[in-house]
Structure 1
């Protein structure tokens, strides 16, 4: 007797059998496919990222070209679709180029911190004992300080700049990612299938790779995706305070700082970098929430 689901199978039974046939990642994709809210915000993120990547081809003007006679002009003035900034530079071009720097400073530290913090968390959770206590107590030292103040202090001590800002953000994100990975690994290491793998004499590296990482990777990636929006806001904050990207490089935080004095003269120009930060961070948060719901096997 065939076990395949025929065309005459009741819809309720087909829905119950579907996840088993699709597998875990197939089920995640199936859930995302029928989640219009998450798909909407993912689409916005993709458009923002593509606009930043292809900014040299999409930008209508040179983002560094200044003109005193074109200062703070309204949208549509002589080909400037979004107007000009306080130095007469094209706003649209600077927003596109600024997205490259801001997104890089927000995403790259999270990726590096995921590798370092996730690796340390897996080691701490799987080894336990003294190794766990040593790693987690070091992480607790960083937890003693608010993330914003810690990023400002580290970046300021290193002298500011885009590279130093990304190093500061990486150090800020390592402790929470380490804790998430350590918690997930501690929950997995004593499960039956891990004990069975150990009993067969499998090397530790194979147990970690084939049995532990697969169950730890999901929670770590979900949490890391939620940190990207925080990274974008913190990176913009560092540039706003003068501890991140230096002028005349376009950056959303730096643009926000430069245009804050023009808010009464040209409020739209002053608000545009903040709107870009808001749209990107909210879209990232909503996409992360949707991804978490899709990856939750209990829902």
Structure 2
């Protein structure tokens, strides 16, 4: 019997999706691809295959999970199987520069960015910025490696010190610091290529922006809209307002551009993040094809991402 197959490497992030499948009585199976053996000569089973492989898999000890998943997706696609978030989606998930290059094809503005390999080149690239700038990992997820710097010397001290955290692919991004009038970013969620909702995310605690309930806050970096010393580390947690809030009746002219970008790159489920500067210009800086949702924000708004994903996958399964 055909079923839904969920490709991933983090069981905790799949918990709400399992619940949604059970509520809708949908047959499913999980393919946990931290490692394995692929018999390329055999045909895949019938079904719908939902790719949820994460760029941050290496932080959980699954260094080669994306690479292995890429071979599995190639196998599935060569047999014409229904894949949600195809090979191209995975390519963009683990490469922010590739994301930016693809987004620009649809008129989407991204921050001015340099990609550097090696400490000397990282410091040299930062010299191109007159004001504040940030660093981040090219292959990241969860805001890995995001740190704000006010001076070139502060970066040099960090890079040459013992605390430098390199990207798993060796590529560090140096990016202009977008000063927002208020400390928040916007994350726009799409399922089946359709806009579902937008969530406002408070960044005053830092840029560990994973909305899943199981995500740890830990050390947070890069507050937005303020001028803290570099690197900026938050040590207290605000209780004044929810960190994640779904925006009622959200509408923005960038949504159709996002939808064209997603459709042309084989991405059907994604969260896209942007920040708005003091002049009202938006800068898109991340595409997350392994998107998660915050249960408290969804309960408050009465909208549920994982349930919507399950319904979408159920419809695709019925088509088979």
| Structure whose alpha-carbon radius of gyration is higher | 1
TM-score past 0.5 threshold: no
Q: What range describes the TM-score normalised by the shorter chain of this pair?
A: under 0.3
TM (norm. structure 2) is: 0.20
Higher helix share: 1
Greater length-normalized contact order (CA 8 Å, ≥ 6 residues apart): 1
Higher strand share: 2
